[in-house]
């Protein structure tokens, strides 16, 4: 429909610093920050379409379902063939609304997610990497407003095959990072 006229205001900052007082190796620090807010200024539904196509929940999706702030602080230390990196991401709070008229809303707390990687470069033989995405197994807040409904399946004879209310622990609607928790890996990179 492309019915909403929106306005996004905010700013981003990126700061990098190569730490000069490291005696051995090289240390780079980076900071990335973003503050954003999107607001609907006007709604223009095509003629003949009901206003229910763009209700309070649809407005909420645009204005509230993503964090207004996100920050990342990262460090990369390199010494000869060895390198180690750490990234800490902060996702700000956000609000999600449920179904129906005058839907319930849930505010999700800010969260911190940490990624780490240690690697060793064997030169022409490749690079060995050990790491973790979401090292501390952080998940979004659990859903409290509508149980992230599952669904019901009934066969042609009217028999209930599946009835799965509240099957998801986390919101199926929105999250700035995944709900699967930590991911730990070992990898070998070889270029040819």
The answer, yes or no, to whether residue 148 has pLDDT greater than 60, is no
Nearest-Å Rg of the Cα atoms of the chain is 23
φ/ψ bin of 141: left (φ > 0), alpha (ψ from -120 to 50), beta (otherwise): beta
pLDDT more than 90, % of the chain: 59
* SS3 assignment, position 26: strand
102 or 7: which carries more pLDDT confidence? 7
pLDDT in tens, 79-115: 999 999 999 999 999 998 877 667 788 999 999 999 9
Which residue from 73, 182, 75 is spatially nearest to 131, judged by alpha carbons? 182
60-74, 96-110, 112-126, 141-155: least confident range: 141-155
Whether the pTM exceeds 0.85: the reply is no
Q: What stretch of H or E contains 63?
A: helix 56-64
- The residue-averaged pLDDT of 151-170 equals 79
């Amino acid at each position: 429909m492309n019915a909403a006229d929106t306005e996004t205001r905010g700013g981003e900052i990126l700061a990098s610093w190569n730490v000069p007082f490291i005696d051995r190796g090289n240390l780079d620090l980076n900071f990335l920050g973003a503050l954003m807010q999107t607001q609907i200024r006007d709604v223009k539904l095509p003629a003949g379409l009901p206003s229910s196509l763009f209700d309070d929940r649809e407005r909420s999706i645009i204005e509230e379902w993503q964090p207004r702030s996100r920050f990342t602080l990262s460090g990369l230390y390199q010494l000869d063939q060895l390198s180690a990196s750490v990234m800490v991401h902060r996702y700000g709070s956000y609000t999600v609304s449920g179904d129906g008229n005058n839907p319930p809303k849930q505010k999700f707390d800010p969260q911190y997610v940490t990624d780490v990687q240690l690697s060793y470069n064997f030169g022409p033989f490749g690079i060995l990497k050990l790491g973790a995405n979401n090292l501390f197994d952080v998940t979004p807040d659990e859903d409290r407003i509508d149980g992230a409904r599952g669904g019901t399946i009934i066969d042609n004879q009217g028999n209930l095959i599946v009835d799965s209310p509240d099957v998801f622990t986390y919101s199926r609607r929105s999250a700035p990072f995944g709900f699967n928790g930590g991911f730990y890996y070992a990898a070998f990179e070889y270029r040819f």
